[in-house]
Amino acid sequence: MKRLLWLIALGLIGYGAWYVQRVRNAPPEVAFTKPRRERLVSKVSTNGKVEPIEWHVIRSPREGALLRFALEKGQHVAQGAVIAELDSSEAQTELRTAEAKIAQAKAELAVLNQGGRARDMATIDGDLDRARLELAAAQKLHESLQRLVAKNAAPRVELDQAAERIRTATANIASLEKQRASLVTAPDRASAQARLQEAETTADAARRRISHATVVAPASGTVYQVDVRKGAYLRPGDAIASIGKLDRVRVAVFIDEPELGAIKVGQTVTITWDALPGAAWTGSVEKLPSQITALNSRQVGEVVCIIDNRDGRLLAQTNINAEIQTQAVENALTIPKEVLRREKTEAGVIVLQPDGTVAFRKIVTGAASVTRIEVKEGLQEGDQVALPTDSPLRDGTKVKPVPATEN
């Protein structure tokens, strides 16, 4: 019995050794795929940012607190619509004060243009009338006394007294006329005019500040950026919001330097946005980059594309995904990219030989999509090409073909 057990154990050990040796010497299992004919579209995938083609940055025209503001991103505004209102209470007070000074200066000028204040003028005019009457009476008496003195009918002293009265009346009239003229002087008029101009200048400045307190949209468009909130204190030139026309947008996409050679003006571009899954927008390449710049760890060129956005759903300043169609080949013979191998400087694939062995075959490639590449030379439709495997494959290696899950 014990001997029988030993014989069974030895048999099992022998079988195991034989099986291990057989497995070790068995050809590796390798999956193969066949080239196929299809329309192959080459695309360059990258990222970018949306910008409006036509835009306006609305800035604060003056200093002040923001009293009214109700813009939101994505809101459409019409040209001339009121979008913000600044505090103008101080300017309103300045305008009222200036208008009061204008009225006062104009009234003063009116008095000066009439020769002076009416009461002062009336007093002087009354004195002038009396002085002229006295002069006329003195002249008449003087003439009468001259005749009497000539006839020795009156003494010379009375004639002299009459002449003195004429001189006194004449001097009084001259003094009153000079006093009347001094009621309005050139400096008085110039001073009043200066006060009027100063008040009008102040009023004009206050009116401008009041008019600038209301901020309107310079053009119709969609709000794509908001820079302030209600209650903010603004200084001249501070940005309030940005609006733009978004029916067509400019998209700046960043192409890695090695792929720039495939990009040409007019190529089709497809844009997607993670915020709207399933949505897509199309357009074309408008402008190629003029220089290479660093973008994080990448060296890129900025390619400008124009995208149709008539539905208005693609917002400015959003980060998007872009695919540029660089080439389309009809009826191309294609293989999966992962089957490509490189020996030294030659690109090729591992193909199955009729005797069950494999061999490296050099191929010439053409256009490529994300997953497949065109074979221009080196393969036929019926050839079997090895998919990636962990087993080392060299020319002449015997393999066991197995069904491929690819395709």
Q: How far apart are CA 83 and CA 235, in angstroms?
A: 17
Spans in the chain with pLDDT lower than 70: 1-25, 111-122, 124-125, 128, 176-177, 179-189, 405-407
Q: Which tokens in the block code for residue 75?
A: 């809101």
3-class DSSP state for residue 36? strand
Burial 11-21 (b: 16+ CB within 10 A, else e): eeeeeeeeeee
pTM: 0.54
Q: How distant, in Å, are the alpha carbons of 82, 205, 318 from that of 103?
A: 33, 17, 57
Q: How far apart are CA 363 and CA 343, in angstroms?
A: 12
3-class DSSP state for residue 324? strand
3-class DSSP state for residue 381? coil
Of 43, 47, 45, which is closest to residue 319 (Cα–Cα)?
47
Tally of CB atoms within 10 A around 89: 12
Q: Which tokens in the block code for residue 235?
A: 């200084």
Q: Which tokens in the block code for residue 186?
A: 């050139």
- CATH T-level topology, domain 55-87+219-240: OB fold (Dihydrolipoamide Acetyltransferase, E2P) (2.40.50)
Q: How distant, in Å, are the alpha carbons of 21, 60, 133, 226, 235 from that of 87?
A: 94, 12, 67, 19, 12
On whether the CB atoms of residues 238 and 263 are closer than 8 A, the answer is no
Q: What is the pLDDT of residue 246?
A: 87
Q: Which tokens in the block code for residue 146?
A: 């001259």
Q: How distant, in Å, are the alpha carbons of 97, 105, 196, 209 from that of 109?
A: 19, 6, 9, 28
Of 370, 372, 368, which is closest to residue 406 (Cα–Cα)?
372
Tally of CB atoms within 10 A around 211: 12
Q: How far apart are CA 196 and CA 373, in angstroms?
A: 85
Q: What is the pLDDT of residue 303?
A: 95
Measure the CA dihedral 50/56/57/60, to 10°: -160
The CATH H-level (homologous superfamily) assignment of domain 43-51+245-330 is Efflux pump adaptor protein, beta barrel domain (2.40.30.170)
